[in-house]
Amino acid sequence: MKIKPIVAGNWKMHKSLSEGVSFVDKIQNRILDKEKVKVIFCPPFNSLFSIVDVLDGTSLSVGAQNAHHESQGAFTGEISVEMLKSMGVQYVIIGHSERRHIFGETDGWINQKIHAVLNGELTPIFCIGETLVDRQMSQTNEILYHQIKLGLEGVESIDAERLIVAYEPVWAIGTGETASKDQVEEAHGYVKLILDAEFGHSSSEVPILYGGSVNENNASELIQTAGVDGFLIGGASLKEDSFCSIIDQVTNYYKG
């Protein structure tokens, strides 16, 4: 199976309902011929149902930014995988560095969420990445191994169509700093080695995305980097021109 490149936009806490619906409507009209790329919008919870409705019948997909591992209960402010699935959501971002570092999500908690998403027949976008201190101490590989090993603990096998991994060095998220091509290639190569050691050949076609200040100016170089199968984008996914430009560059330059 040839990997289809992915461009996923994580809107974080941006865009009202009307702004979000208008945005995806404009985007889909601009990328009608970009079938070579899987495009995923990850808006805030308030817009999920309406955006799923707008994109119904298209090749564009919708993901949530988080989910709770329990199916129901007294968890004020949370949303379950079953609720997301009932709205037509297909993907869920799990383990984003902001969830880890601002909200204190542990590897164990992330592991529970991944199991819940897989059991609910949705696809996790599993985020991993080191801090600046980790990299300065030459601990990048150790951190990536730890996060993958604990995050996927208890997952017996991998279906390449049911898992996406996103490498996002924490020091490059929203900072304007982007990992160098060599740093990205090395990290993605190591992630593939870890997955292969844990799950064998079945993991060779799991898409590995890069995230960390990706924009229209660096996307063409990054997408040609060995091991990069697309992007998980923050700020640049909020702007129509930059998001469409990145999709164009992935369409034109991804070699797989």
Q: How far is the C-alpha of 207 from the C-alpha of 37, rounded, in Å?
A: 12
- Asked if 191 and 128 touch (Cβ cutoff 8 Å), the reply is yes
DSSP reduced 3-state for 243: helix
Q: Kindly give, in sequence order, each residue whose CB lies less than 8 Å from that of residue 256, ignoring residues fewer than 6 positions away.
A: 2, 3, 5, 229
So which residues are the catalytic ones?
A: 96, 168
b/e 70-98 (16+ beta carbons within 10 angstroms → b): eeeeeeeeebbbebbbebebebbbbbbbb
Q: Of 169, 166, 182, nearest to 124 (Cα)?
A: 166
Separation of first and last alpha carbons in the chain: 11
Angle between helix axes 140-151 and 107-119 (nearest 10 degrees) is: 50
Where does residue 138 fall: left (phi above 0), alpha (psi -120 to 50 degrees), or beta otherwise? left
Cβ–Cβ under 8 Å, residues 149 and 199: no
- Cα gap 234→14, rounded to integer Å: 10
Cα distance between residue 200 and residue 217, in whole Å: 36
